[in-house]
Amino acid sequence: MMKYSGRFFLPLVGLLVLVTSGCSVFTPVGDAITNAYENTVSYFNSYYNAKRAFDEAEAEIHAATQTAKAKSFLQSRELVVPVAAKQKLTVVIDKCSSILSFHPSSSLVDDALLLIGKSYFYQGEYVKAERKFLELNEQFPRSSLALESRLWHAKTLDRMKRSEEGLSLLAALSADAQAEGEDEISAEAHLLSANLYELREEQEPAIRHYARVAELDADDEVKTDARVRLANLYFSSEQYEKASAEYARIPEYTSDIYFELLAKLQISACVARLGKYEEALDLTEDLLQDFRFKEHTGRIRLERASILHAAGRRQESVDEYALLDTAFARTETSSLAAYELGKIYEKEFRDYAKARPFYARAAENKATEIHLLALRKAAALQSYLDAKKKIALHDSIMHAYRNRASAPMMDSLAAPLTINEDSLRSVNAALFYEIAEIFYSELQEADSAVLWYKRSIGLTSDSIRSPRVLFVLAEIANSHPDRDYGKPTEYYRKIVEEYPDSRYADQARVILQLPKKAKEVDSAEKTYVLAESLVESSQYEKAVKTFSEIVDSFPTSPYAAKSEYAIAWLYEHRLSEPDSALSHYKNVVAKYGASTYAGIVRPRIGDTTAVRKDSIAVSLPKPPVKQELKEDKAKELPTTREEPPARARKKEE
C-alpha cells in the first residue's frame, strides 16, 4: 500500500501556489521549483504505474492459481504465474528501480522496495526478494510497511525451506502484528508457521497454528485456507473423524461453491475410510443430483469409483473408471481414471499387457500430477513385455533345436540348425535380470523381483551380474523380514565365498564384520598393460595370445571381459578374421552378459546365435583403456539400502 502523508502533499500545495503566482522577480527560483515539481510528478507517476501493473499481475496470478486448484482439486501451495503477469512484474521492477536510483530520498522508497521484493517473489527469485525485504526493514524500521515486509520475508524463507529462520521471524511477527491490531498479518503469520511445521513433520504445533487462524479477525480466504489445510492434515494422518468435522466447517468461512464441493467430497472419502461405504456412496449420489456441481460430474464419479473399489465391488469400480476414461477423453478426469485402471490391472489382475495401455493413456496429459509416474509405469511394463517376447522366442528356438531329430526334414538341402546353448542361456539370464530390475526398481513388486533374480542366477552365473544379484536379494530380504526371501547373511556369505574379488564382496565383508581382504597386486592388470603395449607396437597376434592368458587365468577379474572384447576387436579390425571376431564377440555376451562390453556388442550381433558374419559393425569402439576400466568398476559398486541398484545406475548414466 502507498502512504499518503503530510510530508508529501503539503510541500506539493506550496509548490503549486508558487509556480502559478507568475512573479517575474523570482523567475530563476520559479524555474527551479517548476523542475522540482516536474520531478516529483515524474517519480509519483512511475510509482503509480508500477503499482497498477503489480496489482494487475497479482490479480492474474491469484486467478490462475485458483483455477488450477479447482481443476485438480488439490490444495497445492504452488503459484501459477501467467506469462503476461511475469512481463508486468518485470515492468514493476524496472520502474521501481528507477525510483530508487533517481529519487533515493523520496517518500516512496519503502513502497518501491516492497513492490520489487514482491515481484521477485512471484517470479521465483527468492534470494533477490529477500534482499529487498531486508533492505526495507533495515532502512525503514518504523515504516507503516514494516510488518507487511516482514511477512513477505517470512514467505520467502518458507519457499526457500529455511524453516528455523522462518519460524523465529514469524513468532515475533505474529505477536507484534497482534499488538498493533493487525490481525490480518498475524493470521497469515500463523498460517505460514503451520506450513513450516508441516514441512518439518511436526503435527501438533502445525495444528495449533492452523486453529489460531480461526480465532483472529482475518480475511475469510485466509481462514478458509487454514481450515482446509487443517482438515487435510487430519486426513493424511488417518484421523478421519476429525478430518470430517473440519471439512464440515469449511462452508462457514466461504460461499465459494468449489470449497463446498471439496468439503463434501472429502467428507465422503472420510466416511468411506471409516468403513461406511453405503453412506459414502449416498453422499456422492447427492452431489451428482445437485445441479450446481454439474460441471464437476467427472470428479464426483472418480470419488464414487474409488469408494466402490474400497468396498470390494471391484467390477463395478472398473466399469465406472472405464466410463470416465471414455466419456471424459483428453481431460484430467480421463487421465486419473486410466491411471486407476492401470493400477487395478497391474496390482490385482496381474495383467501387465492390459495395464500398460492404461498407464500410457494416463501419461498423455502432461498437466496432471500422475503424468511422470504413469510414464514410468508404461515404460517399465513395455520393457517387461518386450523381454518376455524375447524369452518366448529363445525358448521356441531351443525347443526346435532339441527336437530337431524327430522333426520332418522339409528340405534335404537346408543347412542344419546350429545353436550355441550356453550363449542362449546367457542371453536369457540377462533378460531375467532385466525383468527382475523392473519389478524391483519401477513396479516395487518384491515377490516378482525375487523370483526373476533367482531365475537369472539359476540359469547361468558370471562374475559381474551374479554378485550384484545376490547383494540385491540380501537387501530385499533385509527390507522384508516378514517374508520368506531367505537369510541376508547367507547371501552375503555366498558373495564372499564365490566372488571374493568383486566389489560386492568388499561390502558384504563390512556387513558381516569380516576382515577386509588383503590387497593383492592385480596380475591381470599387469598382463593387460603388456597386451596393450603389444597392440601399440602392432604385434597383434602376440597381443591376442596375451589377452587370452587373462581370459583363461583370471576369469573373475574385471580385465577378463575387457580382454575378450579386445581379442574380438583385433580379429575384426587388425587381423581380418571375421569368423574369429564373431566367435569372441559372442563369448563377451555369453560369459560377461552384465558387463559394459556385452552392452556394446549385444545390439550388433543380436540376442541369439543365429547371426550372420556381416552383422558385426565395422566401427565398434577401440578396446577400452585404463581410465575406462576405473569408470566400469565404479559403475559396479554396490548401492545402499536406501536406493535400489537400478536407480543408482540410471543416475550414473
* Residue that terminates a domain, selected from 512, 541, 573: 512
Domain membership of residue 554 as a residue range: 531-622
Tell me if 554 is assigned to some domain: yes
Query: Are both 389 and 503 inside the same structural domain?
Result: yes
Mean pLDDT within 55-81: 78
Query: Are both 504 and 387 inside the same structural domain?
Result: yes
Give me the CATH number covering residue 501.
1.25.40.10
Q: What is the pLDDT of residue 221?
A: 86
Q: How many CA atoms lie within 13 A of 52 on its CB side?
A: 6
- State whether the Cα torsion 615-619-620-622 is positive or negative: positive
Q: What is the pLDDT of residue 338?
A: 97
Query: Does the structure show a pLDDT above 80 at 470?
Result: yes
Separation of alpha carbons 624 and 535, rounded Å: 12
Query: Are both 460 and 554 inside the same structural domain?
Result: no
Tell me if 536 is assigned to some domain: yes
Mean pLDDT within 462-482: 92
Tell me if 493 is assigned to some domain: yes
Query: Does the structure show a pLDDT above 50 at 650?
Result: no
Q: What is the pLDDT of residue 418?
A: 65
Chain segment 410-453, per-residue pLDDT in tens: 555 555 556 677 778 888 888 999 999 999 989 999 999 999 99
Q: Report CA 485 to chain centroid distance, whole Å.
A: 30
Q: What is the pLDDT of residue 70?
A: 62
Query: Does the structure show a pLDDT above 50 at 626?
Result: no
Query: Are both 427 and 502 inside the same structural domain?
Result: yes
Query: Does the structure show a pLDDT above 90 at 188?
Result: yes
Chain segment 214-259, per-residue pLDDT in tens: 888 888 888 888 999 999 999 999 999 999 999 999 988 888 888 8
Q: Of the ranges 98-112, 117-131, 193-207, 625-639, which is most confident?
A: 117-131
Query: Are both 480 and 577 inside the same structural domain?
Result: no
Joined together, the cell numbers standing for residue 518 give 588383503
Counting residues of the chain whose pLDDT is more than 90, the rounded percentage is 56
Query: Are both 573 and 459 inside the same structural domain?
Result: no
Query: Does the structure show a pLDDT above 90 at 185?
Result: yes
Tell me if 441 is assigned to some domain: yes
Query: Are both 553 and 497 inside the same structural domain?
Result: no
Chain segment 369-422, per-residue pLDDT in tens: 899 999 999 999 999 999 999 999 988 888 887 777 665 555 555 555 566 777
Q: Count CB atoms within 10 A of the CB of residue 632.
A: 17
Joined together, the cell numbers standing for residue 121 give 517473489
Query: Are both 606 and 561 inside the same structural domain?
Result: yes
Q: What is the pLDDT of residue 6?
A: 39
Separation of alpha carbons 16 and 38, rounded Å: 11
Tell me if 38 is assigned to some domain: no
End-to-end CA, the chain = 52
Tell me if 99 is assigned to some domain: no
Query: Are both 389 and 441 inside the same structural domain?
Result: yes
Q: Please count the structural domains in the chain.
A: 2
Mean pLDDT within 580-608: 79
Separation of alpha carbons 19 and 23, rounded Å: 9
Joined together, the cell numbers standing for residue 144 give 507503516
- Averaged pLDDT score across all residues of the chain: 83
Tell me if 205 is assigned to some domain: no
Separation of alpha carbons 85 and 119, rounded Å: 10
Query: Are both 496 and 535 inside the same structural domain?
Result: no
Tell me if 463 is assigned to some domain: yes
